[in-house]
């Protein structure tokens, strides 16, 4: 409801969830499943129905003003969005939809009501959870409101299946939300291995206009406190203070746009770079399409993912698929997405001094970095969207079978 799969990841609220929905929908369609994605129309001239891929339709529903709304304003549009979903289904013969798969708690609220009306199972993926985020808040971030916590609890209570990205997330659903273990299924997200693949670092740097001998530290994602790009900038400043000779080659690039609480100060990173005295090595790059993004990964010495909370961390997987190791915070799904010491390094906490020591090793120890690069390619190769879609099919089939099972009479 709050973001369209047609939006460019890295802008507004578009991020890993958008990639997840697009890629899994495409692979489900290749398996013979018809997929229809309902999303809120954010412009008057959007077509009511658009084809994302063969077998995948995106339906734009009018729910509130067309301009982008803050997520805090979206609960007021739940009734309008639900009305659009139910009206669409009513245009067809009964039984058009077999399964509802909702993503994020707002859509889960719509899904739980549509489930009751249509008599079909509800499968839900949280992507992020308020209780988890509130336990791991960034210094400048705001806690998620109680209304979201209650909304998530309601969805967990009625969903026939809950899809967790990792075993850690499954445990959080069970421990923090009281989810029944037999309704939680772990399905790892994937990576598009045909787009994100190894290639020449020098060629990528040439295409991006980067120095061939640069020490490039890369951040990819939405610019907001939760993603902690400031940790990278502070660590880079510490690296230069410790070793001024790095200044001639160090490049710190952040590819993404402001989002969430970051919208309040869209120039925050540029201002922080000036405050830290690293404006000369800092580059802020607009969100890039996948092919260009793959070049950024190939060009990098390391990709840095210092998030305070992360349900999985697709950026880490995309980078590793390109052969670039990752320095990631040891939180959430990043502990699955990155094999510590094999495909990258997991860092405890967000102390810039600690991160500076880790990142300095990436730029000054090329042999070690090459070992991690090989491990990164091997680790990422095990994750593909085809496997994700096949596992989702199993989850859907189990939810349908469980919903329609006939009770067996027992004589006592």
Pick out the residues of the known binding site for Mg(2+): 297-298, 300, 324
**Do the Cβ atoms of 334 and 305 come closer than 8 Å?**
yes
Pick out the residues of the known binding site for UDP-N-acetyl-alpha-D-glucosamine: 8-9, 16, 222, 227, 310, 318
| CB atoms closer than 10 angstroms to residue 3 | 25
Pick out the residues of the known binding site for 1D-myo-inositol 3-phosphate: 2, 13-18, 71, 104, 128, 148
Pairing relationship of beta strands 56-61 and 49-53 according to DSSP bridges:
antiparallel
3-state secondary structure of 311: coil
**Do the Cβ atoms of 30 and 392 come closer than 8 Å?**
no
Spatial CA neighbour of 287 closest among 67, 43, 13? 13
Q: Distance between CA atoms of 300 and 285, rounded to whole angstroms?
A: 14
- Measured distance between the N- and C-terminal CA atoms of the chain, rounded to whole angstroms: 49
Pick out the residues of the known binding site: 2, 8-9, 13-18, 71, 104, 128, 148, 222, 227, 297-298, 300, 310, 318, 324
**Do the Cβ atoms of 190 and 214 come closer than 8 Å?**
no
The tokens for 8 are: 């460019």
Q: How far is CA 151 from CA 104, 141, 270, in A?
A: 10, 21, 36
Those residues whose C-beta lies under 8 Å from the C-beta of residue 101, and which sit 6 or more positions away, are 111, 123, 124, 125, 163, 392, 396
């Amino acid at each position: 409801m709050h973001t369209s799969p047609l939006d460019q990841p890295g802008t507004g609220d578009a991020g890993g969830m958008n990639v997840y929905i697009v890629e899994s929908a495409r692979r489900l369609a290749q398996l013979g499943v018809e997929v229809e994605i309902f999303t809120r129309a954010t412009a008057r001239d959007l077509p009511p129905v658009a084809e994302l891929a063969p077998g995948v339709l995106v339906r734009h529903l009018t729910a509130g003003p067309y301009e982008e709304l803050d997520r805090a304003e979206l609960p007021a549009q739940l009734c309008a969005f639900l009305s659009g979903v139910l009206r669409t289904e009513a245009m067809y013969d009964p039984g058009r939809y077999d399964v509802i798969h909702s993503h994020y708690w707002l859509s889960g609220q719509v899904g739980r009501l549509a489930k009751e009306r249509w008599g079909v199972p509800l499968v839900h993926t949280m992507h992020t959870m308020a209780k988890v985020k509130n336990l791991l808040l960034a210094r400048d971030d705001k806690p998620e409101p109680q209304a979201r916590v209650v909304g998530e609890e309601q969805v967990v209570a009625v969903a026939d299946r809950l899809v967790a990205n990792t075993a850690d997330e499954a445990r959080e659903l069970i421990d923090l939300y009281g989810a029944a273990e037999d309704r939680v299924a772990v399905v790892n997200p994937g990576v598009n291995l045909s787009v994100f693949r190894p290639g020449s670092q020098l060629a990528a740097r040439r295409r991006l206009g980067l120095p061939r001998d640069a020490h490039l530290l890369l951040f990819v994602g939405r610019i907001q406190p939760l993603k902690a790009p400031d940790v990278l900038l502070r660590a880079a400043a510490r690296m230069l203070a410790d070793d001024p000779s790095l200044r001639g080659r160090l490049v710190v690039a952040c590819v993404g746009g402001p989002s969430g609480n970051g919208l309040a100060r869209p120039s925050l990173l540029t201002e922080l770079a000036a405050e830290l005295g690293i404006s000369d090595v800092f580059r802020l790059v607009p969100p890039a399409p996948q092919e260009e993004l793959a070049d950024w990964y190939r060009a990098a010495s390391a990709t840095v993912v210092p998030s305070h909370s992360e349900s999985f961390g697709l950026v880490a997987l995309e980078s590793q698929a390109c052969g670039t190791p990752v320095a990631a915070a040891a939180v959430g799904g990043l502990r699955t997405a990155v094999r510590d010491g094999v495909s990258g390094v997991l860092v405890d906490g967000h102390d810039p001094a600690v991160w500076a020591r880790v990142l300095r090793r990436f730029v000054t120890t090329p042999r070690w970095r090459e070992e991690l690069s090989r491990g990164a390619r091997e680790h990422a190769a095990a994750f593909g969207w085809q496997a994700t879609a096949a596992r989702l099919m199993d989850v859907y089939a189990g939810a349908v079978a469980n919903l329609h099972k006939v009770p067996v009479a027992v004589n006592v």
